[in-house]
Amino acid sequence: MTGVIETPEASDKTGAKQIVHDVEDPPLPSSAGSPDIGPIVTEHEQQNLIRGLSQRHVQMIAIAGAIVRGFPNPGTGLFLGLGGSIATGGPLGALLGYLFVGLIVCAIQFALGEVSALLPVTGSFVRHAEILVDPALAFAIGWNIVYGCFISVPSEISAGVVLIQYWTDINAAVWVTILIVVSVVVAISFIGVYGEVEFIFAILKILLVIFVVILGLVIDLGGIPGKPRLGFHYWKDPGPFVEYISTGSWGHFLGFWAVMTNAVYSFAGVESLAMAAAETKNPRHNIPKACKRVFARVTIFYLAAVLIVGMLVSSADDRLSDESGTAAQSPFVIAAGDAGIKAIPSIVNAVCLTSAWSASNQSILAGTRTLYGLALKGHAPQIFLRTTKWGVPYMCVLLQVAFSLLAYMCVSNNALTVFWWFVDLTAAGTLVSWICIALNHIRLLQALKKQGISPDALPWHNRITRYTSWFALIACVVILFTGGFTVFTKGNWYTASFVSSYLDIPLVLCAYGGYKAIRRTKIIPLDVVPLRQALYEAENDPENVPLKKDSLLSKMNILWG
C-alpha cells in the first residue's frame, strides 16, 4: 500500500510535522528481480565508521575543493587558472562560460543533495548507481573515481613541489617526502581531524579570494597612488571576446566554449561533499543544506574573480600564458605587480601551496571512501573493509600511499612526462561523475513515479530538480564529447590533448560492459528500486532530526553559517 499521511503524534518537539509513510509491506523490496542490497546504510558502515564531520566541515570540503582544483594545473584552480580563461575567451567570454557551468553545478548539487538525503552511504553517487541504475555502472564509475583520485594525490604533491621551488632550490625529493608524510598522517587520523584541517585551509583560501577581489577593485578604480583608473578599459580594448581558432562571431563562440570546458575542471570537487556521508553527522539534513549553499558560494567566488580579472588584465597580455605553475602566472599577481605591490606573489604562492595539499587530502578522502564503498558491495577485495578503531579504512589509505610514491617521478623530467600521461587518462572524470549524479537523480524520480510515491515523501526535495537534472545531464554529455574540439581543427592536433579529453570515455564504457558481461547484471527495473525500504530507514533513523533554523546573522554569513 502506498501513501503519505501526516499525524499530530508524529510532530517533533519543535512542532514540525513529520511525514509518516504507510508501510504495511515489509521494508525490504519483495518484487521479483529486485537487487539483493540488504540495508541501504549497511551494518558495517554503522558499526565501523564514526560520524565525525559536521555541516561546516562538509560545506568547506566542497568549497575548498572547487576553489583549489583546476585542469591542467592541479591545485591551482581559481588563483592561477583564471588567466588562461581570460586569454582564451576574453573577459565577457570567460564570465559567461563560468556562469553557464555555475548553473550546471547548481543542478548537480541539488540532484546530489536529494539522492544523498535518501541514501546517505559511503561512496555517495557510486553506491547510488548500484541501487538506482545498474551494479555495473557503480563498478565502472567507482573504479574510475578511485584511479582518478589516487593519481591526483601525487599530481597535487608534484604541484606543491613546483610552488615550493618558487622560494628555494632544495632537492625536490625532500619536499615530496615531507608532503607525502603529512598527507598520510591526516589520512589515517580520525575523520574529524581531516575536517578541521580542510576547514582551516578553506577559510584561508576564501579570505584570499575576498582579499584579491577587494584589492582588484581598489586597483581598477584608481586607488593606488600614481596609477590610472582602469574601469572596463580592457572590455573595450582588446574587447569583451577573443577570437579563438576561427574569426568573427564563430571564433568568439569557440573561445566561450573553450572557457566553459576549462571551467568544468575548475569546479571539480563540489561533488565530493557527500563521499563520506556515513561519517557525517545527521547526513539527511546536513548534506542537502550544504548542497544548497555550496554551489551559490562557489559560483559567487568564481564570478566575482573572473569579473575582476577581466577588468585588471588584458586578454592579450602574454604573461597570462606563463606555464611555470607558480604564482608568476596568476592574473592577480600580474595586476598587483603592475600596480607596484610586491608582497602579493609570495602570499598567493603560499595559499596555493596549502591549496595543493588540501586538494591532495580531498582526493585521498574521495578515493579511499569510494574504494571502501566498492568493497562493501563486492566490487573490490574485502580486505579494503578493514578499519582502525577510530573508523578509518586503513587498507584503502595504504593503497593510496603506494600511489603517492609516484610523486617522486617529478624529480626526473622524463619520468614526469610519463607521470602526466597517467594523469591525462582521467581528465574527463569530473564530467563522467556529474553525468552519473544527474542520471541517478533522474532514475530516482522515475522510480517514484512508477511506484506511485510522491516526491514530497523524500527527506529533501525541490520541484525544479525534475527539469534541472535533465539540463545538467544533457549539458555534461555535450561538453564531454566536445571538450577536445580544438584537436580536430586544422593544425591543432595534439595526441596528449586528445587522450586527456576522450580516453576516459572508452575506459568507463569498457569497465561497464566487461562487468556486465561477466556478472550478467541488468538495469534495475523502476518498479523494484527499493524506495520503500529507503524511506523506512530514513523515517527510523535516530539522527534524522530537523536542523534548527538559522538566525539572521547566520544566514548573512557567507563563510560557514
Higher pLDDT, 57 or 436: 436
> Higher pLDDT residue, 16 or 429?
429
Alpha-carbon span 532 to 60, nearest angstrom = 33
| pLDDT number for residue 2 | 40
pLDDT value, residue 411 = 82
Does 559 have pLDDT greater than 60? Answer: no
Q: What is the CATH number of the domain that holds 63?
A: 1.20.1740.10
Who has greater pLDDT, 287 or 62? 287
Q: What is the pLDDT of residues 34-73, one digit of tens each?
A: 444 567 877 777 777 777 777 677 777 666 655 655 433 4
In a domain, 559, yes or no: no
Segment 422-429 mean pLDDT: 72
- 502 is a domain residue: yes
Q: What crossing angle do the helices spanning 531-539 and 77-118 adopt, rounded to 10°?
A: 90
Indicate the helix (H) or strand (E) that contains 332. Answer: helix 331-338
Cα 268 from Cα 152, distance rounded (Å)? 12
| Cell representation of residue 425 | 587518462
Cross-strand partners of 6: 19
pLDDT at 435 over 90: yes
Q: How confident is the model at residue 21, as a pLDDT?
A: 41
Which DSSP string do the residues of 123-165 spell out, in sequence order? TTHHHHHHHHT-HHHHHHHHHHHHHHHHHHHHHHHHHHHHHHT
pTM of the predicted structure, to 2 decimals: 0.85
**Letter string b/e over residues 77-115, b meaning 16 or more CB atoms within 10 A of that residue's CB:** bbbbbbbbbbbbbbbbbbbbbbebbbebbbbbbbbbbbb
Q: What is the pLDDT of residues 198-240, one digit of tens each?
A: 888 878 877 878 888 888 899 888 888 888 888 998 999 899 9
- What pLDDT is stored for residue 73 in this prediction? 41
Whether 553 is covered by a domain: the verdict is: no
Lowest mean pLDDT among 291-295, 316-320, 462-466: 291-295
Could you tell me the pLDDT band of residue 8, with boundaries at 50, 70 and 90?
very low
**pLDDT value at 375 more than 90:** yes
The residue with greater pLDDT, 361 or 256, is 256
More confident site: 279 or 13: 279
Mean pLDDT along residues 330-334: 79
CA 476, 422, 259 angle in degrees (round to 5)? Answer: 35
Q: What is the mean pLDDT of residues 316-320?
A: 84
Higher pLDDT, 280 or 181: 181
4/360 Cα distance (integer angstroms): 45
CA angle 425, 431, 433 (to 5 degrees): 90
Give the pLDDT confidence score for residue 515 in this predicted structure. 95
Q: What is the mean pLDDT of residues 288-301?
A: 75
Per cent of the chain over pLDDT 90 is: 33
Domain that holds residue 358: 4-545
Sorting pLDDT into bands at 50, 70 and 90, what band is 108? very high
Q: Of residues 546 and 143, which shows the higher confidence score?
A: 143
> What string of DSSP letters covers 338-398?
HTT--SHHHHHHHHHHHHHHHHHHHHHHHHHHHHHHHHHTTSS-GGGG---TTS--HHHHH
Q: What is the pLDDT, as a whole number, of residue 557?
A: 53
- 69 located within any domain: yes
Which pLDDT value is given to residue 74?
39
Q: What's the distance, CA 457 to chain centroid?
A: 28
Q: How far apart are CA 162 and CA 184, in angstroms?
A: 20
Higher pLDDT, 271 or 547: 271
Candidate from 96-110, 160-174, 226-240 with smallest mean pLDDT? 160-174
Instruction: Tell me what the mean pLDDT of segment 118-146 comes to.
Output: 93
Confidence band of 192 (pLDDT split at 50, 70, 90): confident
What confidence category does residue 81 fall into, taking pLDDT thresholds of 50, 70 and 90? low
Do residues 426 and 147 make contact, with C-beta atoms less than 8 angstroms apart?
yes
Indicate whether 25 belongs to any domain.
yes
Judged against a pLDDT cut of 80, whether residue 316 lies above it is answered with: yes
**pLDDT > 60? residue 94:** yes
For 390, what's the count of Cα atoms within 13 Å in the CB-facing half-sphere?
10
Q: Please say if the pLDDT value at position 189 is more than 60.
A: yes
561, part of any domain: no
Cα–Cα distance for residue pair 235/312, rounded to 1 Å:
10
Please enumerate in sequence order all residues whose Cβ is within 8 A of that of 549, keeping only pairs 6 or more positions apart, or say none.
Answer: none
pLDDT: which is higher, 207 or 424? 207
Q: What is the mean pLDDT of the chain?
A: 81
- Is residue 558 a part of any domain in this protein? no
pLDDT grade for 340, boundaries at 50, 70 and 90: confident
Highest mean pLDDT among 167-176, 220-229, 292-301, 377-386: 377-386
pLDDT of residue 83: 79
pLDDT score for 439? 97
What pLDDT score was predicted for residue 201?
A: 80
> How many angstroms separate the CA atoms of 543 and 453, rounded?
24
Does the pLDDT value for residue 327 go beyond 90? Answer: no
Residue 294 resides in a domain: yes
Q: In residues, how long is the chain?
A: 561
Tens digit of pLDDT for each residue in 487-516? Answer: 999 888 988 788 888 989 999 999 999 999
Overall number of domains in the chain = 1
SS3 53: strand
Q: What is the mean pLDDT of residues 458-472?
A: 93
User: Is the CB of residue 429 less than 8 Å from the CB of residue 145?
Assistant: yes
What is residue 16's predicted lDDT score, i.e. its pLDDT? 39
> Mean pLDDT throughout 246-269?
87
- Give Cα 496 distance to the centre of its chain: 24
User: Tell me, what's the pLDDT at 291?
Assistant: 80
Which set of grid coordinates corresponds to residue 49? Answer: 565508521
Least confident piece of the model among 8-12, 268-272, 475-479: 8-12
High-pLDDT (> 70) share of the chain, %? 81
